[in-house]
């Protein structure tokens, strides 16, 4: 039996600390690839036909009873509409707790920002960043005129969260993904998807979109 390999509609290499956005049509598949390993992808999405309807971290957790998601799970909007379904995942559970990094986060790391373990090398090979996913996604979403305050909290692909139920504390565990790790999501509606190659991790991503 021969296997047909579909040509990618989009095949984009995103250098570390850059972002981009695409409309993925219902039934199409978006693939996020960790090129070198140890990357993080901050992912947000919107209903392409109604940009006010956007991804909800909270509904995605509550509607599935999970604080992290993997293959078989879905990304939901505030109105509980399925936006994307994870159909393939070589990594494991991806984080849904954390907000995105930003210029503010990096400016406040040593003062009043909690949750970073002291062992975490912020910025990866590129060192401490001056801006974060918040600024990267604002730029990526500029063609759709989405206001910064309308960018939802993200789905953190290739990021793992460590929970301490005793202290009610949580912390990011970095460096779990390997080169070539990927996550595939099928669009359940026409979805505007925006991706940031997280400045916190400082590693590139590759994004592909396929017909199915
Ligand atoms: Zn980030």
- Reported as a single tens digit per residue, the pLDDT across 87-144 is 999 999 999 999 999 999 888 876 666 666 655 678 888 888 999 999 999 999 999 9
Would you say residue 151 lies in a domain?
Answer: yes
Residue 35 lies in a domain: yes
For residue 107, report the distance from its CA to the centre of ligand 1, in Å. Answer: 14
Domain count, the chain: 1
Can you list the alpha helix ranges (DSSP code H) found in the chain? Answer: 57-62, 103-107, 133-140
Segments forming the whole domain that contains residue 110: 10-210
Q: Is position 2 within any domain?
A: no
Give the distance (Å) from ligand 1 centre to CA of residue 201. Answer: 7
pTM of the predicted model, to two decimals?
0.94
Tell me the per-residue pLDDT of 175-193, one tens digit each, with 9 for 90 and over: 789 999 999 999 999 999 9
Tell me the residue ranges of DSSP E strands in the chain. 10-14, 19-24, 29-34, 41-47, 50-54, 68-69, 74-76, 82-89, 94-95, 155-157, 160-164, 169-173, 182-187, 191-197, 205-210
Contact between 79 and 53 under an 8 Å Cβ cutoff? The reply is yes
- Residues less than 5 Å from ion ligand 1, measured at CB: 42, 101, 132-133, 198, 200
Is residue 82 included in any domain, yes or no? yes
Per the prediction, the chain carries an average pLDDT of: 93
The answer to whether 187 and 22 have CB atoms below 8 angstroms apart is no
State in Å: Cα 123 to ligand 1 middle.
Answer: 9
Phi, psi of 133 (to 5 degrees): -60, -30
Residue 3 counted as domain residue: no
Burial of 154 (C-beta count, 10 Å sphere; 0-12/13-18/19+): buried
CA 33 to chain CA centroid, nearest Å: 11
């Amino acid at each position: 039996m021969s296997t047909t390999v579909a040509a990618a509609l989009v095949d984009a290499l995103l250098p570390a600390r850059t972002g981009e956005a695409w409309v993925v049509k219902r039934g199409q598949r978006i693939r996020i690839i960790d090129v070198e390993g140890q990357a993080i992808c901050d992912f947000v999405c919107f209903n392409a036909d109604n940009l006010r309807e956007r991804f909800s971290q909270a509904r995605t957790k509550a509607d599935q009873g999970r604080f992290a998601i993997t293959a078989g799970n879905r990304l939901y909007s505030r109105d509980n509409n399925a936006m994307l379904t994870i159909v393939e995942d070589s990594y494991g559970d991806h984080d849904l707790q954390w907000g995105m990094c930003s210029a503010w986060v990096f400016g406040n790391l040593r003062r009043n920002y909690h949750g970073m373990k002291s062992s975490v090398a912020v910025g990866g090979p590129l060192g401490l960043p001056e801006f974060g996913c918040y600024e990267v996604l604002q730029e990526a979403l500029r063609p759709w005129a989405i206001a910064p305050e309308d960018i939802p909290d993200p789905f953190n692909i290739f990021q793992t969260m460590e929970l301490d139920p005793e202290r009610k504390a949580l912390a990011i565990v970095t460096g779990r993904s390997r080169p070539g790790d990927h996550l595939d999501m099928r669009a359940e509606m026409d979805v505007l998807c925006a991706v940031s190659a997280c400045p916190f991790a400082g590693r590139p991503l590759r994004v592909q979109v396929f017909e199915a």
